[in-house]
Amino acid sequence: MEGKSEYKRGLWTVEEDKLLIDYIAVHGKGKWNRIPKLTGLKRCGKSCRLRWINYLSPNVKRGDFTEEEDDLIIRLHNLLGNRWSLIAGRISGRTDNQVKNHWNTHLSKRLGIKKVKSKVGASSQTILFKESGKSLRTCSASNLTPTPDCKAGAADPEVTENGSHRAAGVNSVQELRIDEDNYENHFWFLNDDLDSQVPSLMEFLDKSLDFVWNGM
């Protein structure tokens, strides 16, 4: 690896937090790379931005996720996949990092979901779940979205050696396994169900997904 960075890493101290808060109170957000020069903070701009967005911002809600939040995350994740920022955008006070962590540490376990593989290059998500304890039934998530004939996926797949995908946006594929015990409690795959319980969601997704796929 390369030599020592001029910037500090690891957990933030109270003093560092205060420097960052004071800076933002005066200069506002943005121009993150100026912060170490102007404040003397030994943190790179990227680290400052992340610290503010994920922790220090007054908009960030702390504490446990509510049942309503959990339910919304589950539904949105089914619809959108691992687009955490999009999901977090629909949950007031929660960051994408919080949602991602909460999903990985709590919700995926609760639902018995295991990430089997993740790759790029297909135009839809494939969700596998047990039926009657033997076979796996498949369900294409493209049936669950407003525009099934999405244009993504034209690009060649590019999968890194550690399995993470590199392409942005819609062309990621995951296969999920849902344990039988949990399956019946989480039959949340249908659009009309989602629409009826989250009134503004479909309108939002229509716009978001239309923009992503059609560039409009």
Partner DNA sequence: AAGCGACCCAACCGCGATGAC
Partner DNA sequence: CGTCATCGCGGTTGGGTCGCT
- Interface with DNA (CB under 7 A): 8-12, 30-34, 43, 45-47, 49-51, 54-55, 82-86, 96-98, 100-102, 104-106, 109, 118, 158, 160, 162-169, 172
**For residue 177, what are the contacts with CB-CB under 8 A and spacing of at least 6?**
112, 113, 114, 116, 128, 129, 130, 136
Closer to DNA by Cβ: residue 24 or 202? 24
CB of 135 to DNA, least distance (A): 27
CB of 181 to DNA, least distance (A): 17
Token duo for residue 170: 């819609």
- Provide the angle, in degrees to the nearest 10, between the axes of the packed helices 201-214 and 67-80: 30
What gap in Å lies between CA 25 and CA 20, rounded to an integer?
9
Closer to DNA by Cβ: residue 46 or 137? 46
CB of 192 to DNA, least distance (A): 25
What gap in Å lies between CA 99 and CA 102, rounded to an integer?
5
CB of 48 to DNA, least distance (A): 8
Closer to DNA by Cβ: residue 50 or 202? 50
Closer to DNA by Cβ: residue 162 or 200? 162
Residue listed under structure tokens 């610290």: 51
**For residue 21, what are the contacts with CB-CB under 8 A and spacing of at least 6?**
56
